[in-house]
Amino acid sequence: MKKKSKAKKVLLWTGGSMAFVLVAVSAAGYLYIKHLNDNITSVSDDGASTGGFSKDKAINLLIIGTDKRTGKGNEGYGDTGSVGHADTNILLHISKDRSNATALSIPRDLIVDVPDCPTEQSDGTTKVIAGTQNVRFNTSLGQDDRTPSCTVRTVTELTGIKPDNFMVADFNAVKTLTDAVDGVEVCLGKDIDDKQSHLKLSKGTHKISGETALAFVRTRHSVGFGGDLSRIQLQQQFLSALMRKLSSNSTLTSPTKLLKLAEVGTKSLTVDSQLDSIGKLKDLGLELGKLNPKNLTFTTIPVLDNPAEKVKATVVLNESKAPAVFQAIKDDVSFTAVKKKQAKASKDAAAARLEGSKSAASEVRVRILNGGAPAGSAQETLSWLQNDEGVLKSENAGNAPAELARTTLEYAPDQADQARELASLMGLSGSAMKPGKSVTNSQGLPAITLTLGKDFQGAGVSLTTPTKAPEVDSKTTADKVTCAK
């Protein structure tokens, strides 16, 4: 089959209960593109995000589904007066090499601290909305006039991961998107007749769309333990099914479906100001489109029942498991077994750099630069190397010309022995070692260069990046079909 031109595809990832939306638009369709641009609603990120994704870096996209009952037919659901809280939340991490992704669900009932949120007002001024401690995560949006940027700040506070962009959607998105693709297949392990969500389906596989699809993602009392964590599993199943449908030939080869998706996708979205055009969304879509469904992992932040409650209504962070999950995402570690020959070759080459003879610590001559580490880190490292490790031929060379995400160690071929010794002392991986040209220190003598990046955590703290993700209680990949019980 002839491959479609990537330039003619637009792929959007929408929030809450949505996944990918693929769109084909001809080059001559200027007026239609303008129409799609006019459909998109954007709001300021208020400086809460990184300022937008980059094609050469890992991407962190925050997807927010609100419980706001706007739109035809939604008035009768649940809390009709809801201001639109952060009801469904997924932090989607796409790896730097686009070989894998992790969709991390954040429970709406997780107890968190919502930080102060500087928020742009309609008149252009900025108002700081005061933060609150020990509250449900879902109050990071809507409550006290909080905007999506407050939810972004809350995610950063909670995980240490700063989202690049965000997308928000309401109930109508689920209904219109599933209608546009002629429904998605889901599976139930038992009969369900839920009076609150209005879901009535028998055990087995069903093709759902519209109101039934919305009922499916809203159901929680009739599955699992009847709480929000059980509903998250339904939502993850739904997203997986929708992703499979959207990436199938039946969708990609149908101009009618693609145009429908373009229309409903852009109308369903509220995005940050960095994604306020169809062109920008297309660029993001092309990056997301490189993913294989089998390498997209759905999982949930590890949590525990709130010990402060007799009747369990909220959850708290599992402090023994959650930090490792956050760190794995920050380190761009895959939660699936991604097999790539090129990646293996690169890994083997990095490991080889650590093999071989090492010089004595006293023979290591190194320049230390600060390339994004906390202020004073270069001097702290210098003192540690000289006083504790015997690396006396070392000097603080000030700030690096640019900030680095990761610490690097550059050296000339004839300095490999010194580099291996310093890498051992610093706990650096082979991937941090960068063979290059010889440079000189302040005395005009050849030296290796250690540049401390944003991953630096203190002198003597190992900088070896983990290569395996931690075990999590539950996870599934987007190519799997699971039946809810």
Report pLDDT digits (tens) over 163-173: 999 999 888 88
Residue 218 included in any domain = yes
More confident residue, 350 or 318: 318
pLDDT range class, residue 24, cuts 50, 70, 90? very low
pLDDT of residue 1: 42
Same domain (yes/no): 222, 277: yes
pLDDT range class, residue 69, cuts 50, 70, 90? low
CA-based nearest residue to 281, from 261, 255, 254: 261
Residue 56 included in any domain = yes
pLDDT range class, residue 350, cuts 50, 70, 90? low
Residue 457 included in any domain = no
pLDDT of residue 465: 64
Domain extent, residue 381, equals 349-452
Phi-psi region of 442 (alpha: psi -120 to 50; beta: other; left: phi over 0): alpha
Question: Would you say residue 10 has pLDDT above 60?
Answer: no
pLDDT range class, residue 104, cuts 50, 70, 90? very high
Residue 408 included in any domain = yes
Question: Would you say residue 43 has pLDDT above 80?
Answer: yes
d(CA 102, CA 479): 13
pLDDT of residue 21: 37
pLDDT of residue 378: 95
* CB 305 within 8 Å of CB 228: no
The predicted model gives 145-152 an average pLDDT of: 96
Question: Would you say residue 14 has pLDDT above 50?
Answer: no
Q: In the 8-state DSSP scheme, what is residue 315?
A: E
Question: Would you say residue 27 has pLDDT above 50?
Answer: no
pLDDT range class, residue 341, cuts 50, 70, 90? very low
Same domain (yes/no): 317, 446: no
Same domain (yes/no): 331, 440: no
Residue 464 included in any domain = no
Q: Which residues of 339-364 are buried (b: 16+ CB within 10 A; e: fewer)?
A: eeeeeeeeeeeeeebbeeebbebeeb
Q: Which of 4-13, 226-235, 298-307 has the lowest mean pLDDT?
A: 4-13
The predicted model gives 332-337 an average pLDDT of: 85
d(CA 6, CA 98): 16
H or E element that contains 245: helix 228-246
Question: Would you say residue 457 has pLDDT above 80?
Answer: yes
Q: What is the pLDDT of residues 116-145, one digit of tens each?
A: 999 999 888 999 999 999 999 999 999 999
What end-to-end distance do the CA atoms of the chain give, in Å? 39
Same domain (yes/no): 113, 147: yes
Residue 469 included in any domain = no
Q: What is the pLDDT of residues 378-391, one digit of tens each?
A: 999 999 999 999 99
Same domain (yes/no): 295, 313: yes
pLDDT cut 70: percent of the chain above it: 86
pLDDT of residue 303: 95
pLDDT of residue 262: 78
pLDDT cut 90: percent of the chain above it: 46
* CB 458 within 8 Å of CB 407: no
CA-based nearest residue to 458, from 347, 357, 383: 383
More confident residue, 206 or 293: 206
Question: Would you say residue 3 has pLDDT above 50?
Answer: no
CATH of the domain at 318: 3.40.630.190
The predicted model gives 226-249 an average pLDDT of: 83
pLDDT of residue 26: 41
Residue 474 included in any domain = no
Question: Would you say residue 359 has pLDDT above 80?
Answer: yes
Same domain (yes/no): 392, 306: no
CATH of the domain at 416: 3.30.70.2390
The pair of three-digit structure tokens given for residue 465, joined into one six-digit string: 């990046």
Residue 427 included in any domain = yes
* CB 47 within 8 Å of CB 272: no
Question: Would you say residue 72 has pLDDT above 60?
Answer: no
The pair of three-digit structure tokens given for residue 280, joined into one six-digit string: 């920008």
Residue finishing a domain among 295, 313, 339: 339
Same domain (yes/no): 369, 321: no
Same domain (yes/no): 144, 270: yes
More confident residue, 35 or 367: 367
Question: Would you say residue 335 has pLDDT above 80?
Answer: yes
Same domain (yes/no): 241, 132: yes
Same domain (yes/no): 329, 369: no
Whole-prediction pTM: 0.76
Domains in the chain, number: 2
pLDDT of residue 282: 80
Highest mean pLDDT: which range of 120-124, 302-306, 346-350, 430-434: 302-306
Same domain (yes/no): 153, 291: yes
Same domain (yes/no): 173, 241: yes
CA-based nearest residue to 22, from 237, 265, 231: 265
pLDDT of residue 466: 65
